[in-house]
């Protein structure tokens, strides 16, 4: 019986192979397919033989869904009302519970992607904000009362939540083609995160001197609950998403690599975040980069970025800018020289500006030559150069408007006002300025120091104002104004609201009949210290960030610590993170700031004294790992701010933040 079964088995296999005619075999061998898991050739029997395990042939088509859900809530309790807008009389509420994110980041984001062939891919996303029940009032996505929601018996009736979903980055299509002359990649459609160079198209990266107590909306979870703090201590940075250092761009992009003679090229045509919208008036940005690889990390490149729009429907009045630069990176025995230099201009019916120069040069020396690694950075950007898509701010050119949408509303160009002569962190700069930065890192056993020094100044006296931010309680202060980015708000109409920040403008009085005659100078020292140890066999981190700045009418190698300075800004921030369990971290925060003005700045009409501000921030929090790619983050902050000379500019209270985030 056994022999008969064996004979039938052999005959079945022989007949099936005979029916296939041994197609695809070599010299009478068995036909082969590819195992999608191991890439090992194996024999696949015909479909009508059911005694063999089935294996699906490998396919090029792939489809995937990923994204995140983020619940974020803020509860704020003010000790006393604070005047938000002197014109309208709006005040902060005594108690405020807000579900959602002031940064306008969605609560739910789904990313859909597919690859039909090896050369093409597509993707799009869908987002939704948190929906609230109760009183129907104005909200970013529109609230839906419970009575209008569809029922399980008639799910197509009423106001469906899905109807409020929308595209965030839009729909993208990508294609690539590899030839013996190079590889060409094309992207069209929705938003893409791209960069060319620091002075043409990029965003500020800085020197990783920041605090971690309040999480950014885009922060990832990481492989473990301590990964965020481990990397910040050991590597000086934290995990960032694809937007880090990039700019949002919508339209057509062509990226050509591995071209003959070591050339690479990139072309862009479309819109940036600063010239998007739905206007029918022509409005576009375009640019590109051509680079040549010199080996060992060295290269030379030519970059350009431009914008052209119109202020009228007849397309006769042009508004825009042009920037073109040459760039090189040279490496020799761990010594690196990075230089980008070129010219730019701004044009509009109200402006007739000549081309101006812009330079950004960095020399990096290794520890073998200078005892510790050090970077020297010289920059100079003309007052006629304008480019809000680069790493420098506009502080000298009042932009022409191509619409009458009020400031703070979607599509408005009124929000793009100069930041006055800005006091900025080291590495961030503005036009109409030149300066020198020196940065270094020093490791002393478990102590890591990051030190920065800067001396900069305006090229010409363009205005009689200075702007500065408040690093202590920066995010809490920005949440006083929900969703919009208004200008000239606060008790004395001195605050302008930006993305997750509020900057204050101070008027100077040492002018000539209202005409500025003094070019401002700025001196800055930054000290960051990071220390790691163990307490009861658990990880313990201490992070400190101190910044000392002054603005004055003369050059000074160090910040000016007396009343000869227009403004003196001192801030100190200390953080602690303790791993009380493998999946739980306790954290704490303490911040203090002092801001002082002299009598060449605007004084209060009642006290006749300049600003004299003190800010405090204290906080406790906990990070809890809820499993792979999921975490719960709670922060409790107590805040206070007082200007003893401008008595209405005073507030205090407490704030509770709860964030639940899940990636999938």
CA-based nearest residue to 507, from 418, 416, 600: 600
pLDDT of res. 142: 54
Task: Give the residue with greater pLDDT, 122 vs 130.
Answer: 122
Residue 481: which residues within 8 A CB-CB, separation 6 or more?
Answer: 84, 489, 497, 502
Min mean pLDDT across 3-17, 116-130, 134-148, 599-613 is at 3-17
Number of compact structural domains in the chain: 3
Residue 36: pLDDT over 60? no
Residue 185: pLDDT over 50? yes
Residue 433: pLDDT over 80? yes
SS3 assignment for 424-481: CCCCCEECCEEEEEEEEEEEECCEEEEEEEEEEEECCCCCCEEEEECCCCHHHHHCCC
Residue with the two structure tokens 């980008």: 340
Question: Dihedral, CA atoms, 255, 260, 262, 266, nearest 10 degrees?
Answer: -20
**Averaged pLDDT, 125-140:** 59
Does a structural domain hold residue 458? yes
pLDDT classification of 52: cutoffs 50, 70, 90: very low
Residue 102: pLDDT over 60? yes
Does a structural domain hold residue 260? no
**Averaged pLDDT, 133-148:** 55
pLDDT of res. 134: 44
Does a structural domain hold residue 169? no
| Domain around 614 | 68-100+195-245+277-663
- pLDDT tens digits along 610-647: 999 999 999 999 999 998 889 999 999 999 999 999 99
Same domain for 208 and 148, yes or no, is: no
**Averaged pLDDT, 11-18:** 45
Residue 15: pLDDT over 50? no
Does a structural domain hold residue 340? yes
Q: How far apart are CA 293 and CA 300, in angstroms?
A: 7
Strands 433-444 and 465-469: unpaired
Same domain for 383 and 499, yes or no, is: yes
Q: How far apart are CA 407 and CA 639, in angstroms?
A: 29
Same domain for 539 and 422, yes or no, is: yes
Does a structural domain hold residue 131? yes
Same domain for 433 and 516, yes or no, is: yes
pLDDT of res. 152: 64
Same domain for 23 and 125, yes or no, is: no
Question: Dihedral, CA atoms, 407, 413, 414, 415, nearest 10 degrees?
Answer: 70
Same domain for 524 and 624, yes or no, is: yes
Does a structural domain hold residue 54? yes
pTM over 0.85: no
- pLDDT tens digits along 441-473: 999 999 999 999 999 999 999 888 999 999 999
pLDDT of res. 18: 43
pLDDT of res. 290: 97
Q: How far apart are CA 117 and CA 556, in angstroms?
A: 61
Same domain for 118 and 91, yes or no, is: no
Does a structural domain hold residue 187? no
Same domain for 386 and 533, yes or no, is: yes
Same domain for 134 and 76, yes or no, is: no
Does a structural domain hold residue 253? no
């Amino acid at each position: 019986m056994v022999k008969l079964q064996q004979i039938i088995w052999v005959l079945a296999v022989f007949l099936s192979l005979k029916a296939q005619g041994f197609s695809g075999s070599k010299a009478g061998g068995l036909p082969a397919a590819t195992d999608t898991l191991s890439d090992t050739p194996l024999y696949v029997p015909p479909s009508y033989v059911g005694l063999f395990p089935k294996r699906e042939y490998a396919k090029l088509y792939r489809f995937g869904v990923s994204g995140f859900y983020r619940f974020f809530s803020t509860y704020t309790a003010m000790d006393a009302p604070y005047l938000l807008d002197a014109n309208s009389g709006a005040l902060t509420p005594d108690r405020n519970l807000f579900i959602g994110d002031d940064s306008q980041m969605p609560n739910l984001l789904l990313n859909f992607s597919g690859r039909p062939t090896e050369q093409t891919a597509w993707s799009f996303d869908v987002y939704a904000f948190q929906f609230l029940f109760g009183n129907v009032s104005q909200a970013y996505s529109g609230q839906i009362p419970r009575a209008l929601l569809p029922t399980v018996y008639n799910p197509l009736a009423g106001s469906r939540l899905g109807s409020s979903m929308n595209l965030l980055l839009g729909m993208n299509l990508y294609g690539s083609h590899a030839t013996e002359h190079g590889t060409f990649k094309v992207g069209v459609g929705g938003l893409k995160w791209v960069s060319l160079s620091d002075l043409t198209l990029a965003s500020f990266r800085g020197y990783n001197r920041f605090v971690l107590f309040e999480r950014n909306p885009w922060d990832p979870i990481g492989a473990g609950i301590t990964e965020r703090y481990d990397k910040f201590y050991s590597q000086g940075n934290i995990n960032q998403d694809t937007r880090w250092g990039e700019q949002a761009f919508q339209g057509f992009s062509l990226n050509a690599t591995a071209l003959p003679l070591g050339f690479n090229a990139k072309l862009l045509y479309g819109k940036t975040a600063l010239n998007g919208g739905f206007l029918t008036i022509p409005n576009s940005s375009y640019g590109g980069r051509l680079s040549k690889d010199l080996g060992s990390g060295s290269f030379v490149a030519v970059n350009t970025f431009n914008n052209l729009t119109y202020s009228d429907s007849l397309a006769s009045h042009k508004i825009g800018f042009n920037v073109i630069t040459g760039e090189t990176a040279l490496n020799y025995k761990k010594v690196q020289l990075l230089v980008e230099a070129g010219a730019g201009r701004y044009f509009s019916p109200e402006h007739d500006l000549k081309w101006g120069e812009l330079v950004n040069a960095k020399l990096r020396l290794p520890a073998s030559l200078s005892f510790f690694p050090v970077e020297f950075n010289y920059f100079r950007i003309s007052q006629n150069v304008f480019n809000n898509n680069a790493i420098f701010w506009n502080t000298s050119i009042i932009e022409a408007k191509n619409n009458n949408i009020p400031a703070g509303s979607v599509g408005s160009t009124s929000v793009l006002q100069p930041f006055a002569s800005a006091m900025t962190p080291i590495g961030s700069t503005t036009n109409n300025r030149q300066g020198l930065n020196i940065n270094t890192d020093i490791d002393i056993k478990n102590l890591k120091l990051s030190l920065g020094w800067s001396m900069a100044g305006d090229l010409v006296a363009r205005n009689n104002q200075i702007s500065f931010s408040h690093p202590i309680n920066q995010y809490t202060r920005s949440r006083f104004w929900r969703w919009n980015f208004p200008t000239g708000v606060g008790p004395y109409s001195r605050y302008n609201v930006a993305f997750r920040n509020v900057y204050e403008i101070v008027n100077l009085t040492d002018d000539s009949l209202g005409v500025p005659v003094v070019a401002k100078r700025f001196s800055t020292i930054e000290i960051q210290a990071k220390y790691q140890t163990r307490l009861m066999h658990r990880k313990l981190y201490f992070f400190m960030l101190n910044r000392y700045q002054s603005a004055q009418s003369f050059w000074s190698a160090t910040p000016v610590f007396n009343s000869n300075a227009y403004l003196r800004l001192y801030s100190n921030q200390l953080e602690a993170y303790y791993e009380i369990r493998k999946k739980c971290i306790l954290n704490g925060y303490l911040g203090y700031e002092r801001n002082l003005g002299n009598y060449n700045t605007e004084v209060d009409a009642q006290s006749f004294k300049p600003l004299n501000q003190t800010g405090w921030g204290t906080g406790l929090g906990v990070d809890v790992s809820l499993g792979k790619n999921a975490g719960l983050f709670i922060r409790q902050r107590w805040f206070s701010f007082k200007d003893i000379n401008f008595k209405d500019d005073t507030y205090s209270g407490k704030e509770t933040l709860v964030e639940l985030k899940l990636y999938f």
